[in-house]
Structure 1
């Protein structure tokens, strides 16, 4: 069963990418981004997509330009996540047939992202507005718009965010930090999925 969680593998290397992605997928986390400020990110994305594209959505995070959207597409990625709301990036993503998740913080940014074609919204950093802020924005956003909390949301407080109207999460350092072995990532991923399942009951 797939959970509404995006794994943020910041710092993963190409040599580790396939095994680390497999650890996430096996635990039930089947959307994975490699932030573009990681070492050789396009190589990691290519390897992960080649190995796992049939069972997972692989892509990039920290995508700031339309040119990088094209490079992710050429590497086999299908997911574009950004820390900001840039309509040019969103439109380039959709023109390439990929899934767009821009970072937003305000209602103005949320609606601008949706107008540009975003598939979902990444509230980032979510810690700055908290569950109360998400609840307030959720009241005016389209009901069918997926809203993910990223930055400050994790296993210890999944329930608070879900009750506020968040649909899912992006998880970074709680899941992966550079140098972790795949078995350690698997253990973390399993614990995160368990916490999500308990919070969503």
Structure 2
């Protein structure tokens, strides 16, 4: 059974690619205090499962914490073992999705084409990560969305930031994954907090402007 994407005031996923375990606690706390409610630590980061476990312990129940770049069912099991509830992948692997669903995880597989998007939707994905969004653009994602089940949550990831939220929001895309615009390896918790503040202000302005 599919685990639905939980309702959020701002469906924004902070992607902490490259974060180290000794940095994770402070950065995750800064993001949560700023108002972020979903955090992804990609598995090609240093000691990612340690960082995820630290993040899970820092996060309240309403904050979704998990892993990105999840490629195998073994990764899914390890993620579940450290308390992760969000499974983000760069591709559509039905076995990985099935295992994540069995472990009651929210899933966000990466898609680019109508074929991939429809396959992911049929496999019960909680949401679809259109990546790289900068290549498809709002118009490309909107065109593909026309053939998808209307209840499937759409997120734009890759090249999306506080500078172009409005372009996507105008077309009805309101969920985003935010990587280098929010966090780059070596940034301090204070720097991430400032970026999160700017990001959330820009997102809120874009959403209000589209109403």
TM over 0.5: yes
Residue 28 of structure 1 deviates from its aligned partner by: 1.3
- Cα distance in 2, alignment partners of residues 22 and 2 from structure 1: 18
Helix, strand or coil: the match of 1:113?
helix
Match for residue 175 of structure 2? 168
- The structure-2 alpha-carbon separation of the partners of 1:53 and 1:93, relative to structure 1 and needing over 3 Å to count, comes to farther
Task: Identify unmatched segments of 5+ residues in structure 2.
Answer: 1-7
Q: Could you tell me whether the CA contact under 8 Å between 1:6 and 1:169 is conserved in 2? A: yes
Give the match's secondary structure for 2:40: strand
Question: Of the candidates 177, 187, 196, which is equivalent to residue 180 of structure 1?
Answer: 187
- Report the equivalent of 1:132: 139
SS of structure 1 residue aligned to 2:170 = helix
CA–CA distance in 1 between the matches of 2:110 and 2:143?
17
Q: Is the 8 A contact 2:39 2:66 kept in 1?
A: yes
Alignment TM-score, normalising by the size of structure 2: 0.92
- Match of residue 51 from structure 2: 44
Find out whether 1:72 has 2:75 as its counterpart. Answer: no
**CA-based RMSD:** 1.1
Unaligned runs of 5+ in 1: none
Q: Would the aligned equivalents of 1:14 and 1:40 in 2 still touch at CA under 8 Å?
A: yes
Give the match's secondary structure for 1:164.
Answer: coil
Where 1:196 maps in the other structure, the secondary structure is helix
Q: Secondary structure at the match of 1:33?
A: strand
Structure-1 residue corresponding to 2:23: 16
Q: Secondary structure at the match of 1:154?
A: coil
Alpha-carbon distance in 1 for matches of 2:113, 2:171: 16
Q: How many residues align?
A: 201
Return structure 1 stretches of 4+ with deviation > 4 angstroms: none
> Which one of 113, 138, 157 corresponds to residue 106 of structure 1?
113
Report the CA distance between 1:44 and its aligned residue.
Answer: 0.4
Is the 8 Å Cα contact of residues 19 and 41 (structure 2) preserved in structure 1?
yes
Could you tell me how far 1:53 is from its partner in structure 2? Answer: 4.2
1:96-138 deviation per Cα after TM superposition (whole angstroms, max 9, x unaligned): 1111100000111111111111000000111121111011012
Alpha-carbon distance in structure 1 between the residues aligned to 2:101 and 2:176: 22
Partners of 1:191 and 1:11 in 2: how far apart?
21
